[in-house]
Structure formats: C-alpha cells, structure tokens
Amino acid sequence: MPVAVVTDSTAYLPPELVSAHRLTVVPLTVVLNGAEGLEGVEILPADATRAFGERRVSVSTSRPAPEQFARTYRELLAAGADGVVSVHLSAELSGTVEAAELAAAEVGEGVTVVDSRATGMGLGFPVLAAATAATAGADLATVRNAAAVAVDRTNTFFYVDTLEFLRRGGRINAAEALLGTALSVKPIMHMPDGAIVLRDKVRTASRGLARLVDLAVEAAGDAGIDLGVHHFAAPQRAEQLVAALAARFGTRLHDTYVSEAGAVVAAHAGPGLASVVVHRRPDPTG
C-alpha cells in the first residue's frame, strides 16, 4: 500500500476526488444553533445555509481531538500503509495542525504533518499533489515534499459581504472590521502565510467578483493552472466566477473544482462568500 494521505473536512474536495485518490478525511466538529455534528458527515452545507437563513444563528467550531488523528494514523499503518502524510488547514485559523502533530508524535515515525497555510482548495490542491505522488509509489519524504511545493504554488482570495463574521470568530481584529463597516466597503481577503489579511476594498459585490478574477490572473503568472471556486449560499456568484475565469485563462486552465463551503468556513465568512484558489502547475507550459 502506498503512503496514505489524510486531510480534514475543510478542504471541501468533491467526493469523487476523495474516493479516486483514496483520501482519508478527518472532520472538524460544528455546533450549529445548538446541534453538534461532524462537518460533511452530520452537518452539510445545506444545513449551514438553512441556519444562516434564520433570524439568529449561533455557530462554533472545534478541531478534531489528537486521539482521533492518532486512531486514524494507526489504522492506516496497520492496514499496510508505508507511511502517512497528513495535510491540514492553516495553523493560523485552527488548532487542527497542532492536534495532528501531537498525534503524529504519539504514533511515532512514519507520520508527518503539513500546514497548508490555507483552507478550501488552498488545502485541497496540496492534498491532491501528495495523493498523486503517493499513487505513483513515492516514499514518505517525497509525498510530503509534493504537498509542500503545492502549498507554495497556491494562492487563495475571497470576497465577503461583511467582515462581521470574521470579527466574531477572531480571525481579524475589531479595528479592521470597524473600518470596513464605517466606510461601507466590501472586503477582499487573501491568506499570506496562512493568516487572513485584507487585500482590497471595493464598493459593490460585482466589483468584488471582478477583482477576484483580476487577482487570480495576477497570481497565475505564465503558468498553466488549476482553479478552485467556492461559495456559501451564493451559487450564482460561483457560476459568474467560473465563466469569467475560463474566459480570461483560455487554454492555460486545466482543472476547475467548484464546491460550496461547509459550516466551518461559513461560520467565519458568512453568506455571500465567493472564493478563488489558484494553483500554478510546476511546468510553466502546463
């Protein structure tokens, strides 16, 4: 059995990719209006959409326990895996990486953890790179390196209607949130080194989507690219982004993955989220 690849539920990978690459997904826990469940298993994006449509919504999230990761790693190794590469959402956003590292230390040699410094397909692309290397028979170090290289070749940008949800979750400071509210601007964020940082300010949602496309083109450079497009309760925005990006990139665009963000990201971004993740293929010619 090749090196096994583990990730968490915030990659929002299409189910067919999880199956095809034999990925193991460890879910985060969500408490949504008092109901606790595992993201992507017991609480689906549709549940989050309904909850945010109510007058008041209460949502909190928590990382998987180290014991859950340790059990997963031991099961994979016992089943014959040569090793485990565990790739997770940014340590700046969650304690998931820390929990995975604690578990890896407990299990011992053969397990290594990678911080994707992102979430959504910003996490998904490094996971897919690791899985592709593992399927080709690469050893543990090479599989880990494939994920690390993909981290460095991936950029995440997202638009939100308001900074309030990021403020509530402690992902940005109150001063940044107040500035956005006072100026009635629509924020575009990015994730340098894994933290959420204000990148641009626009006046309308339509300008926000257009700016996301421009930022994606800038990030791509001359490389052939893959794209991830996410939304939360805003499918039309995702459709607009996919069409505009396809027109701008033409034949340089290879794979595009579109999915709705789950409850963990929704809790911190809120309805209206639109995101573009750009992965530059290592070969400049695509």
pLDDT digits (tens, 9 = 90+) for 64-93: 999 999 999 999 999 999 999 999 999 999
Task: Please give the angle made by the CA atoms of 39, 42 and 47, to the nearest 5 degrees.
Answer: 80
Q: For the chain, what is the mean pLDDT?
A: 90
Average pLDDT over residues 158-170: 72
Is the pLDDT assigned to residue 278 strictly greater than 70? yes
Note whether residue 37 is domain-resident.
Answer: no
Q: Averaged over 145-149, what is the pLDDT?
A: 98
Position 50 pLDDT exceeds 90: no
- Does the residue 44 lie in any domain? no
Range of the domain at 99: 4-28+63-152
Between the alpha carbon of residue 159 and those of residues 97, 135, 208, 211, 226, the distances in Å are 25, 35, 6, 9, 19
Q: Are residues 9 and 132 in the same domain?
A: yes
- At residue 256, the pLDDT reads 97
DSSP character at residue 232: S
Residue 54 falls inside a structural domain: no
Does residue 147 carry a pLDDT above 70? yes
Q: What is the pLDDT of residues 87-121, one digit of tens each?
A: 999 999 999 999 999 999 999 889 999 999 999 99
Verify that 9 and 107 share a domain, yes or no. Answer: yes
Mean pLDDT of 163-173: 60
Give me the CATH number covering residue 19: 3.40.50.10170
**Residue-level pLDDT at 109:** 87
Rounding to the nearest 10 degrees, give the CA dihedral for residues 174, 179, 181, 187.
-100
The structural domain count of the chain equals: 2
pLDDT interval class at 16 (50, 70, 90): very high
Last residue of a domain, one of 152, 175, 207: 152
* Judgement on whether residues 125 and 221 belong to the same structural domain of the protein: no
More confident residue, 130 or 1: 130
**Domain-located, residue 40:** no
245 & 131 share domain:
no
In the chain, pLDDT over 70 holds for what percent of residues? 91
pLDDT confidence of residue 1? 67
* Residue 45 domain flag: no
| Residue 57 scores a pLDDT above 80 | no
Q: What is the pLDDT of residues 209-266, one digit of tens each?
A: 999 999 999 999 999 999 999 999 999 999 999 999 999 999 999 999 999 999 898 8
pLDDT at 53: 75
CATH of the domain at 229: 3.30.1180.10
Give the domain-ending residue among 152, 169, 194.
152
Give the model's pLDDT for residue 286.
46
Task: Report if residue 33 sits inside a domain.
Answer: no
Do 111 and 158 have their domain in common? no
Which residue reads 């993955």 in tokens?
A: 257
From CA 188, how far away is CA 211, in angstroms rounded?
8
At residue 48, the pLDDT reads: 85
- Residue 187 to residue 195: CA distance in whole angstroms: 15
